Amino acid sequence: MILNPRLRSRLMRFLLHPLEAAVASVAYGVFAALPIDAASALGGWLTRTFGPRLAISKRAVANLGRAYPEKDAGEIAKIVRGMWDNLGRTAAEYPHLGEIDIYGNDGRVEVVGAENVDLLRDDGRPGIFFSAHLGNWEILSLGATQRGLPLDQVYRAANNRLVEWLYRRGRAAVEGALIPKGAAGARQLIDSIKRGRHLAMLVDQKMNDGIAVPFFGQAAMTAPALAEFALRYDFPVAPARIFRLSGAHFRLVISPPLAFEKTGARQADVARAMARVNAIIEGWVRETPEQWLWLHNRWGA
């Protein structure tokens, strides 16, 4: 019997979603019970052991083949294992985000460019920090929170509301609104800007109705909102990147705000600005390719 899409969706929601949430809850509890370093190590071991065997890893392999045509299968497999290790560590560190003292003396996080957070915090204007799915990307917003600057973050809400609850619980120490993608989120985003708030945007995912911008030498559909807002409202845009140094130890680098050229040709100005943003992110990824989330359908149809 072939189920219609609506009935199949209901079955997914009422049968599989509770099972998914139960597994996620048990994993969250186990990681929360462990010290952060042990949790990170366990999460990394689990995902680098089983992740490469999952079907979705084929997308990572394909993406790496497009980005690095010169690499052989062994090199690509090594990056894929590293990607899964980083993803598992990031997930396992969620219950411990509130324990991380970004500016403390415990050596957990090295910070470069903290003065650039202060600059955007104190300039009396809204602003944007942009980053990518590298290292533990939640540390950017946590670092801003601990510097007295809440960031409203644009994100993709989980389909499973129970898993979404766990996600929000894990980042409870991070101040700022979570703005879901979509029409409702777009209105909330505009409202945040009008109220003079600051945004965090991960701009390395594909957006089907975005604009084609070079990324690793190939056209990639890219969300233009960051450049559109910065050019329209004339507020600063600062790149921020999180390196995973080893285990659950990191380096957070906040760069000075970018200056986007305004010629009056809106579409060209937006495309040029986003090309610059993509070039920055590409440089980050090339430096530590095993820490980027290659599972996105970045160049797909």
Answer yes or no: is pLDDT of 18 > 80.
no
3-state SS assignment for residue 178: strand
Choice among 5-19, 45-59, 94-108 with the minimum mean pLDDT: 5-19
Task: Tell me what the pLDDT averaged over the chain comes to.
Answer: 89
Tell me which residue has tokens 């490469």.
52
- Could you tell me which of 213, 210, 144, 137 has the C-alpha nearest to residue 173? 144
pLDDT confidence tier of residue 187, bands split at 50, 70 and 90:
confident
3-state SS assignment for residue 80: helix
Distance in angstroms (rounded) separating the CA atoms of residues 299 and 210: 12
pLDDT of residue 156: 77
Q: Which residues, in sequence order, are CB contacts of 298 under 8 Å at separation 6+?
A: 63, 204, 205, 206, 215, 220
Distance in angstroms (rounded) separating the CA atoms of residues 47 and 39: 12
What tokens were used for 288?
């530590």
Mean pLDDT along residues 131-138: 94
Backbone angles phi, psi at 157, to 5 degrees: -65, 145
Q: Which residues, in sequence order, are CB contacts of 242 under 8 Å at separation 6+?
A: 131, 134, 135, 136, 137, 139, 140, 250, 251, 252, 253
Q: Is the pTM of this model over 0.95?
A: no
pLDDT of residue 119: 94
What's 139's DSSP letter?
Answer: H
pLDDT of residue 275: 96
pLDDT of residue 89: 96
Provide the strand spans (E) within the chain.
Answer: 109-112, 127-131, 151-155, 178-180, 198-202, 206-215, 218-222, 237-246, 249-254
pLDDT of residue 20: 75
pLDDT of residue 1: 43
Domain boundaries, the chain: 5-291
